[in-house]
Chains A and B, each alone.
Chain A
């Protein structure tokens, strides 16, 4: 049941493009529902499905830039190949700690940038 609630919450947030993956990973590992690497794959599965439906909706709403998409995609795939290789060899506990530091920085940045844009009335 907790898995379903977390999935709903994370998928809605992921569809709106504001870090649903981080929320899914953090909540699942906080509640110790699954091991870390399995959670990673579930998160990726969620993101593929959310990505397909959200992208169709975004293209229909004309909120999509193909030029930037094609610029980034190849490099992202290369990066992903390297990242997956590292994820396989890094110890699960270390990976968890690095992940927490990584999302902590991203979270702080999100808060700061949204507060700045609130102040400026932009973005």
Chain B
């Protein structure tokens, strides 16, 4: 638990000092690292920096984050596929579902207030991660 606390403190201190415009490169490096290491959450780092620090329009920030992580994920898949047990049937299902739902999701993003989406996603993520830690 000590190591996890140190890790959490590091992330907090880091984000407290990110008001420099050149930090975008370092944030990109960290988001890529998170994408490779955890395979998720990287988008939240990028979106947070672009929207809340650089004050870029929310929708544009999210679009850029999706596009960047899409390319990064391709490279991460090649790196991690040797340690995964993929099933063809599940992969095909996932590809079809993702293709359809990706369009629905991006249309929702343009229509629904992102504050609500953020809040719902935040509550879900916090509850599930607390559950995961306490298990």
Contact = CB atoms under 8 A, between A and B. Distances in A.
Residue in A35, A39, A68 whose Cβ sees the most chain B Cβ within 10 Å: A68
28 contacts: A17-B43, A19-B40, A19-B41, A26-B128, A38-B84, A41-B81, A44-B76, A48-B74, A50-B98, A53-B98, A55-B63, A55-B67, A55-B70, A58-B67, A63-B110, A64-B67, A77-B71, A79-B32, A80-B36, A81-B32, A86-B36, A97-B133, A105-B8, A107-B126, A108-B126, A113-B48, A114-B122, A123-B115
Nearest to A74: B28
A46 B91 CA distance: 9
Given A3-B93, A49-B95, A63-B60, A108 B122 contact: yes
Given A44-B80, A81-B79, A107-B129, A49 B102 contact: yes
Contacts of B110: 61, 63
A46 B99 CA distance: 8
B86 A53 contact: no
Interface string B19-55: 0000011111111111111111111111110111000
A-B residue pairs, 4 tightest by C-beta: A15-B105, A83-B36, A51-B70, A79-B32
B72 interface: yes
B interface, over-half SS: helix
B74 A17 contact: no
Contacts of A77: 32, 71-72, 75
Contact of A111 (B33, B62, B77, B122): B122
A25 B95 CA distance: 16
Contact of B108 (A12, A79, A95): A12
Contacts of B71: 51, 73, 76-77
Q: How large is the interface on A (under 10, 10 to 19, 20 to 34, 35 or more residues)?
A: 35 or more
Contacts of B102: 11, 14-15, 49-54, 57
B18 interface: no
B85 A7 contact: no
Nearest to B122: A110
A50 B68 contact: no
Contacts of A34: 85
